[in-house]
Amino acid sequence: MQNRRVSAFFALTLVFGLTVGAGPNTQSDITVTPARVKAGIAALDGMVRNIKSRSNVPGIAVAVVYNGKVVFAKGYGVRKIGTRERVDPNTVFQVASVSKSIASSVVAAAVSDGKVKWNEPIATALPWFTLSDPWVGSHVTIADMFAHRSGLPDHAGDDLESLGYSRGQILHKLALVPLDPFRVTYHYTNFGLTAGSEAAAVAEGTTWEALAQKKIFAPLGMMHSSYRRSDFARERDHATLHVRSGSTWEVSSRFPDAQAPAGGLSSSVLDLSKWMIMEMNMGTYAGRRIVGRDALLETWRPMMVSNPPQDPVGRSGFYGLGIGVNYDAAGMLHLSHSGAFSTGASTTYEMLPAAKLGIVVLTNGSPCGVPESIAKMFYDTVEFGKVQRDWYAAFSKVFAQVMAPSGELAGKKPPANPVAAMPLSSYVGTYASRYFGAATVSLHDGALTLALGIKPERYAMKHWNGNTFAFVPTGEESTGGPSAVTFAGSKDGHGMTMTVELLNSYGLGTFTRP
């Protein structure tokens, strides 16, 4: 998910196999029978059509695997609005944070080969890597990063990606980010997981993209999967991203190469079905061992509480290594992960390995709960014989709240009688931040412009009140409305500072003009 505003809604799950004579901690009151699965599959087409009609999302692809076979695969809608390019089971989507679970399998395969260890410090392979606490920087492991327990704050580094910084530049700059307690705090971080993935690739003497191809894509025959955005663009049958604009959808785009292991995968439901079959076969596919059983099982184990219960009858959600772990209402465990780009993707998979049953749902519209609703409706039918609640109403309400405008100016209008600003020329100049680099304020035709980033994006600033101005961010870090820029200093310009609210999530958003 790439946007921190949607990260809380990744579905999280795992199931261990049920065996005759198994201990009480592996028992469930629910038996998933072939007849129940058949009923779920029979109802699935209607479920998808219903949710597509209610959401009007441009395109959806769905696949179900059962007992090592693809038993349902279908596309709905179009790859791009305004065209007749239909979605089919081979359509390639950008899958956002579903990338993390496949990355977990890539690293597990490398662990199986003995060149990588889950508990290897990142600094062993990347000696330049550190964090703001040097002790943590030297001890944080690949597993710590995949479990989101490094202490890095939520989505650390995503703001740098939005400004055009490369993967290497961002991983170096993580050393400037303040930390929360190590191995105690759960914070979802794309670039933490990316650091762990990079360490595994370097230990194997290759790049991340090549490692994924060697360990997972080629062995499984995932011919339309890649961690390179350029490969996605070259696919003839690929789904364009879309964002909602009022009651309609508009074409959008996203270039997540910097965080590729965490959010840059592109794939189809048929390719991801092969991966799910391998996972539920405990690391084998078509009779061939792809990932060692022990290394794979390590990824399934709950490592951190990601969702504490909110009331006495609530269930906790957990996170493994790049995979969500959760107990359902029947007491069964599931494996799952969702992904979202606010710039136009929403995806999920969910697996029930006890029944060797999995579903993957990919869409090309910004997040509103579509894939999660379809998956939950399907599993309700399989486990309980009928859908237990209106999942789309529940998910869409929560996503609407998350995607609503945020920030100190959200929902507000400029004061009717604002305090006057200083002369606009007082704010002009180049401001510097150790973390974000340079930001430039310029004056053209009586208005201020803010330029941010490596290849600067330019934003018109409008006076709000006193030394506070407003601009409207775009892209993945958009707040859905205006965001504040506040200046402090004297008219002569000495010691002028500029705090950009959008970039100040963990106190690094203040720039200084020399």
- Residue-by-residue pLDDT tens, the chain, 514 positions: 344 554 434 433 322 222 223 333 444 556 889 999 999 999 999 999 999 999 999 999 999 999 999 999 999 999 999 999 999 999 999 999 999 999 999 999 999 999 999 999 999 999 999 999 999 999 999 999 999 999 999 999 999 999 999 999 999 999 999 999 999 999 999 999 999 999 999 999 999 999 999 999 999 999 999 999 999 999 999 999 999 988 889 999 999 999 999 999 999 999 999 999 999 999 999 999 999 999 999 999 999 999 888 888 788 899 999 999 998 777 787 999 999 999 999 999 999 988 999 999 999 999 999 999 999 999 999 999 999 999 999 999 999 888 888 889 988 999 999 999 999 999 999 999 999 999 999 999 999 999 999 989 899 999 999 999 999 998 787 777 899 999 998 766 667 999 999 999 899 999 999 8
Nearest 10 degrees: Cα torsion 260, 262, 265, 270? 160
Query: Which of the listed CATH numbers 3.30.1330.30, 2.40.128.600, 3.90.79.10, 2.40.50.140 matches domain 424-512?
Result: 2.40.128.600
Q: What is the predicted pLDDT for the residue at 8?
A: 37
How many angstroms separate the Cα of 276 from the Cα of each of 92, 162, 279, 424, 453?
17, 31, 5, 58, 39
pLDDT tens, 352-399? Answer: 988 999 999 999 999 999 999 999 999 999 999 999 999 999 999 999
Q: What is the predicted pLDDT for the residue at 29?
A: 58
84, 108 in Cβ contact below 8 A? Answer: no
Q: What is the predicted pLDDT for the residue at 491?
A: 63
**Sequence-ordered list of residues with C-beta below 8 angstroms from that of 249, at least 6 positions apart, any chain:** 56, 57, 58, 81, 242, 243, 365
pTM: 0.93
Backbone angles phi, psi at 172, to 5 degrees: -65, -40
Q: Within a 10 A sphere around the Cβ of 199, how many other Cβ atoms?
A: 26
Single-letter amino acid, residue 300: W
Q: What is the predicted pLDDT for the residue at 330?
A: 75
Where along the chain do the CATH 2.40.128.600 domains lie? 424-512
Q: What is the predicted pLDDT for the residue at 17?
A: 29
- CA 474: distance to chain centroid? 18
**Tokens coding 150:** 């490094």
Nearest 10 degrees: Cα torsion 65, 68, 71, 74? 50
Q: What is the predicted pLDDT for the residue at 28?
A: 54
Q: What is the predicted pLDDT for the residue at 480?
A: 78
Q: Within a 10 A sphere around the Cβ of 181, how many other Cβ atoms?
A: 10
Could you list the beta-strand ranges (E) of 237-380: 241-245, 248-252, 266-267, 284-285, 288-289, 304-307, 317-319, 324-327, 333-341, 345-352, 357-363
How many angstroms separate the Cα of 45 from the Cα of each of 50, 75, 210, 496?
9, 10, 37, 60
How many angstroms separate the Cα of 392 from the Cα of each of 231, 248, 373, 376?
33, 19, 5, 9
Angle, helices 34-55/370-384, rounded to nearest 10 degrees: 150
Q: What is the DSSP letter of 121?
A: B
* SS3 (DSSP) at 203: helix
**Tokens coding 167:** 């993967």
Q: What is the predicted pLDDT for the residue at 478?
A: 78
- Measured in residues, the chain has a length of 514
What is the rounded distance in angstroms from the CA atom of residue 391 to the CA atom of residue 122? 40
**Tokens coding 390:** 């209106």
Where along the chain do the CATH 3.40.710.10 domains lie? 1-15+34-100+224-305+317-404
- Give kind and range of the element (H or E) at residue 401: helix 391-403
Query: Which of the listed CATH numbers 3.30.70.100, 3.50.50.60, 3.40.630.10, 3.40.710.10 matches domain 1-15+34-100+224-305+317-404?
Result: 3.40.710.10
What is the rounded distance in angstroms from the CA atom of residue 411 to the CA atom of residue 479? 11
Q: Within a 10 A sphere around the Cβ of 490, how many other Cβ atoms?
A: 10
- Give kind and range of the element (H or E) at residue 191: helix 190-203
SS3 content of the chain, % helix, strand, coil (to 5): 35, 25, 40
